[in-house]
Structure 1
Amino acid sequence: MSTRQAQIWVGIDAGKGHHWAVAVNTDGETLFSTKVINDEAQILTLIDMAREKADEVRWAVDISGRASALLLALLIAHGQQVVYVPGRTVNRMTGAYRGEGKTDAKDALVIADQARMRRDFAAIETPPELVSTLQLLTGYRRDLIADRVRLINRLRDLLVGICPALERAFDYSAAKGPVVMLTEYQTPAALRRIGVKRLTTWLERRKVRGADAVAAKAFEAAQSQVTALPGEGRAAKLVRGLAHQLLALDERIKDN
């Protein structure tokens, strides 16, 4: 079990698609080094992980702009202290650290260690009213994401009672296409009736990416089960409703 630190520094090499975060303690020892997708859930997990490591966490980033907007908003909304380490400082100091070449992990280590050793980096300040707004928005978004998790779990639970193979066939939390399909086709019999070709066309009309692959996988699952389970009709109606709710909720999350 690792010892809880009094203070740590987390350096983040920020990017559009993902960030790299490295945490160091007061002796400059690396506590963790991890890739973080530029996504609210993953950033919140990073914040929680850092908080578990130390009583006080200091954050440092190399970009204060669009690429780090979500990251900074979440850090500020959670009362974290953040400083800006200019890219020129990172580039100048990279050669002094072990390891060859320029990597995200190495840059994040430089950012963290420089923030540990220096006190002249500018803090990223946010007006109090903006902090309050960010806290409200992130709280609301967190509630929406929690609602989404509950919807997906309920949908999967119902699908198991209709066709276990269809429930296993897709990651309904990550792929929109299968959820679109469930707004109309939820049972093996219905999927067998429409067939791969017509289902592909139906999905393409609804702008589903990889419609042919979704249709083929769904049809394969349907072919594996010819038995209609008790309560299938009622469960199918509930799945249809949940699928519509999930698509609508995804739009709300996208807008917030």
Structure 2
Amino acid sequence: MTPKLTPSVDVRRAGDRFVTAIDWLDSRHSFSFGGHYDPANTHFGLLLVANDDVVKAGSGFETHPHRDMEIVTWVLSGSLVHQDSEGHSGVIHPGLAQRMSAGRGILHSEKNDAWRLDASIAEHAEDVHFVQMWVLPDRAGLDPGYEQLDIGGELDRGDLLVVASGMPEHADEKAISIAQEHAALHAARLRPGGTVALPAAPWVHLFVARGSVELEGTGTLGTGDAARITAGEGQRVTGGPDGAEILAWEMHATLG
């Protein structure tokens, strides 16, 4: 049973995020991650990681392990190459929903698609910019898995779409699945003045991936800003002067 919650909105500004900056990576963390730790900021609802990453051409994350985690990657610009120990591979680009289930254990790498180019060409190639999000599965020790689907055309309509979900009520409308029956990721590309309603849920994490929005009852959120909404009642989000791209997690459970 969901405990009785007091409605609230906790705005987290882009400039307040933890930052990992090295020669090939600029990574901005919404929650404690790697060497950055704050005991008061380890998760929200079921969301453990929301990293906003820019990886330079010719670079990327070498092969590394994961276990018992549902990992959803959303590319904003450029393209990202995924390869894993289960034999899955793919090039993730804007509008492509992608999920990797680490399950009982998997190895994978993620690299800017330009890593395959000659170094002199790659130097001038495009960075890849993406948001990677992790939620715990509702069961441990699952088989590792991978899924992707291009929903770019649907996004262009400006609606709020169910990108990834394990919730039974999304069985017929989700793009890809996650092994978490209490969570779903939604996304929208908002035109200037375009409006969508967020899900009504105990925990909603809204992230402005680019552009700006007006969040009903709260005010303006810019690129990289987030709102942690408790006992959400379906607040409306309106695109700013240049429009916006938003990611919103709907969650009906929390890690405590």
TM above 0.5, one fold? no
Higher helix proportion: 1
Q: TM-score, normalised by structure 2?
A: 0.25
Q: Which has the larger radius of gyration?
A: 1
- Greater share of residues in strand: 2
TM-score, normalised to structure 1's length?
0.25
Higher relative contact order (CA 8 A, sep 6+): 2
